[in-house]
Amino acid sequence: MNLKRITSVLLKALAFAILVHSCSKDDDGIRYSKPDPQIVQILEQISADSISHTIAWLEGMTTRFTLADNHRNITVAIMNKFKSYGYDNAQLDSFPLNIYFRGTYYETWQYNVVAKLTGIVSPDSLTIVGAHHDCILMSNQPVSPFDIAPGADDNASGVAVTLEIARVLKKSNFNPRTTIVFATFAAEELGLYGSTYMANRLSDTLARVKFMLNNDMVSFCPVMDSAAWYLNIIDYPNSTELRLNAQTICSLYTLLKMVNDNTYQNYSDSYPFYQQGFKPLFFITQSDDPNYHTLNDKAFYQNPRFAREVAKLNCAYIIEGNR
């Protein structure tokens, strides 16, 4: 074979290698080519109406305050919702919480809700998606959170997105490489207690967590024109690459535009996972919600079409990272 022939073969081989690399996954499993028709087909099943109904259902529980008498009933209802989607392994994960609240001392048991879609390749490796299910009112509200706390955006919206992802992946018979853990966390509003409990347990057992996605306040967007829908994707020092991947996922599969403002990165359930060395992302709407922690945080003011796009982002990210 002459030199020109060898050079030609080598150049073709190099071009092929570059092409394969450009269409392959990175270390976190995200593709960088064009939308995958199979993923699009799954995402089309995500329903704004379903998310809206779940937000209204959670608001209709009157209060989801951590210390209210009904706090266990709330988690049982969420657990049963997972079971209705086919997650027979859905369960409550309990932990003690003894705390002062506005001058009174409370001794309680709290409950995270956990459901799993078992991985078929690396079942001991975990992908976590979740949101806190509790809510609260500011102290200046005319009623007590023990009696009423609607918490539609904060954070029925995140729970609704988590449940919708679980519903769609189960319905689609998606078989992930790693185990997907769906979690709703207790007592976030009083100090991130539910997520801290889970993150600490995972660390203590040397669990392998691929990444964690946290959804908190993801349905308030007063702009109806989807061309102006902005989602704040908060990252941490160990998850910048995940945020860049999420930006690509946004452009490939959703109507969302991304911003990155990490001001509140320590104030939601992703933070305890970062503290334990896991890689989290925190999704929150860019629009400031004037109603959060008030009696006006109701389903009426939410934008379920925006929340649907957030669910699509979560779902596509999970699929891309688990194939």
> Could you report the per-residue pLDDT of 168-187, keeping only the tens digit for each?
999 999 999 999 999 999 99
Query: Which residues neighbour 57 within 8 Å (Cβ) at sequence distance 6 or greater?
Result: none
Summarize the confidence of residues 69-76 as an average pLDDT. 98
Under a CB-based contact definition with an 8 Å cutoff, are residues 280 and 196 in contact?
A: no
pLDDT, tens digit (0-9, with 9 covering 90-100), for 16-71: 333 333 333 444 545 557 899 999 999 999 999 999 999 999 999 999 999 999 99
Residue 11, Cβ density class (10 Å: 0-12 exposed, 13-18 middle, ≥19 buried)? exposed
Query: Which residues neighbour 205 within 8 Å (Cβ) at sequence distance 6 or greater?
Result: none
| 3 state SS of 218 | coil
Domain boundaries, the chain: 34-320
pLDDT, tens digit (0-9, with 9 covering 90-100), for 100-134: 999 999 999 999 999 999 999 999 999 999 999 99
pLDDT, tens digit (0-9, with 9 covering 90-100), for 261-295: 999 999 999 999 999 999 999 999 999 999 999 99
Asked if residue 259 has pLDDT above 50, the reply is yes
The CATH superfamily assigned to 34-320 is Zn peptidases (3.40.630.10)
* Chain mean pLDDT for the chain: 92
The two three-digit tokens of residue 69, written as one number: 């008498």
d(CA 256, CA 313): 9
Asked if residue 5 has pLDDT above 90, the reply is no
Secondary element (H or E) of residue 123: strand 122-132
The pTM of the full predicted model, rounded to 2 decimals, is 0.90
Q: Categorise residue 217: left if φ over 0, alpha if ψ from -120 to 50, beta otherwise.
A: left
